[in-house]
Chain A
Amino acid sequence: MNLTTNQARLPRQVLAGEVWPALADRHVYRVDPDGRPFVLPGMGAITLGVHCGDHATGHAADHLEPGASVRHRDSAANYALQYLTCVGNDVVVASGPAASARGHVIGQHAYVLVDLPEAALQVMAPGDQVTVMATGQGLTLADHPAIVVKNCDPRLLDQMPGGTTSDGRLEVHVAARVPAEAIGAGAGMISEYANTDLMGAYQGLGDDLSLGLEGLRIGDVVCLEDSDHRYGRGYRPGFLTIGVISTGQCMLFGHGPGPSTLMSGPAEAFAVVLDDAANLVSWLHPWPEESADDHG
């Protein structure tokens, strides 16, 4: 997008985090929409084999977090890490056998979610340190004052197709439109932390649970209808929120693949274009080292 922004005035801050273990409790089971207990991995640690562009649902997983799930040990430092990190921020692995591998942030889910090349993820483990080059909070669009942008690295915005239309709206390409009925856990939370689970995307369960969202992919940019995420996350008729799917398959009822918020404003401020290619994989790949190899 060719837009006038305050990008030059945004600070870049070096943040630290570590890959966090997967967590469970002694009761082990959680309950699916039909009341059946399940034990499934997906949240925390290093989740292999699922990257931007891959199906979000259909995995035998719960709250699937692609790649590395990152936190900070200190509670207040962790909130800073979670709030200040933006989708598209560069991440460098700082310890362990994958040290110096580079990836990028694809979203927040009470963890910072980092997609990295599969070869690096194969040798990473909980406890590995990562460095996040955080920038993006505070980003404003001079020609679109009604739209609040958050959690968005300015370089990601540069690379996304769209921009200001002849009638002054912001054209944004999305892979799917999401009805307000799909908004699950996450409503009522602030929009700089975790994401908004979408219901109606359970694969293999009843038709009465479906809202037609089973085709979502990790990294898809989506448009949430009647959602206002400017100051938190709530239902507001006539508002739109643009987000990026950062988590996948859930079996816990009322949960599902979730978008991290990128921007929000009145519907008339946007010109939404449906575009299958509206996925982070279109703009943040090839991986930096793959790119370097191509040129080397």
Chain B
Amino acid sequence: MTTVNLVGYAEHPVLGESAYRVDRDGVSYVPAGDGGIVLGLELGDSVFKLAADHAAPGACLVHPDAAARHALTAFACIGNRAVIRTGAASGAVGCVLGKRGEEGRVIVGFRAADLAVMRPSDEVAVQARGQGWRPAGLPDAVTVMNTDPVLFAALPIEIAADGRRVAATVRAVLPGKLAGNGIGRPAASWDLDLQLTEEASVTGSRPQEPPEVLLGDLIAVTDIDARYNMGYRRDWATVGIVVHGGSPLPGHGPGITPILTGPAAALQVRAQGASHVGLTAAMVQLQ
């Protein structure tokens, strides 16, 4: 496994000439919280805590060079250590909590007091490692990605001693048809949005949707193969960590960064419901 020190810069949110986007019911809205530094959102919070669009728990890192930005996104893994190098929070240590697609963003969590004094353009070093790593005993058919090895050991994932199976306990197992933006895109650098709505989470109007999904939860999606691009493959499963909150946009919603993908026979997923504990602030020393 290779470790590389990368640098990213806290993002300033960007909008086009129009302030508005159009939500799934045809109503215009101003997309607050989409990228940049978002305060008041942490691991363990509901994906619908804020009235926001794709809000992530911490600071999104980008790079002014498009190719460097793609590399930052592709190589950073959940659990990687991040250190602020400039600005009022200089020296503060954080942790990569996820990634987002399109042009690429790395989501880094910091303690609330550090995050509160950050500003866009602050420079953050990311010690990237994890891509290409395979834990011992992982079944050949299963692929692990986007995960720091130290963090992987702390997640609710058990590799069977005989090397034939790996089992993940998750908040919920969702059907692949709920996967939206991210299908057809590379799982190493693009999250997979789940088309969950706040309305359904409150009313229970869609039986296949779980009542509550929290940032940091593990979620399994059936019939999705994420080894290369993400797409439909019968009898497969993909497990990801919830990295950002909901979105009013049709085809979008809370996003997962994939960490495991494989045939359902080798990658076994178990829905734990309300008692599930996924990635926590304590696990990555952010408390």
**A residues neighboring B (CB under 8 Å):** 31, 33, 35, 179-189, 197, 199-200, 207-209, 211, 226, 228-237, 252-255
Contact = CB atoms under 8 A, between A and B. Distances in A.
A181 B250 contact: no
Interface of B: 22-26, 175-181, 183-185, 193, 195, 206, 223, 225, 227-236, 249-252
A254 B183 CA distance: 6
Given A184-B232, A228-B24, A252-B229, A234 B180 contact: yes
A253 B231 CA distance: 6
Contact of A181 (B176, B195, B225): B176
A52 B232 CA distance: 27
A253 to B, nearest CB: 4
B177 A226 contact: yes
Q: Which of B176, B206, B223, B231: most chain A CB closer than 10 A?
A: B231
A1 to B, nearest CB: 24
A189 to B, nearest CB: 7
24 contacts: A181-B232, A184-B184, A185-B184, A187-B195, A188-B181, A188-B251, A189-B251, A208-B236, A211-B232, A226-B177, A228-B24, A231-B24, A232-B250, A232-B251, A233-B250, A235-B251, A236-B24, A252-B184, A253-B184, A253-B225, A254-B184, A254-B185, A254-B229, A254-B232
Contacts of A254: 183-185, 229-232
A139 to B, nearest CB: 16
Nearest to A250: B184
Nearest to B179: A187
B251 A234 contact: yes
Given A230-B26, A231-B22, A236-B24, A187 B181 contact: yes
Most buried by A among B178, B230, B234: B234
A255 B233 CA distance: 12
B227 A35 contact: yes
B22 A199 contact: no
B55 to A, nearest CB: 17
A254 B228 CA distance: 10
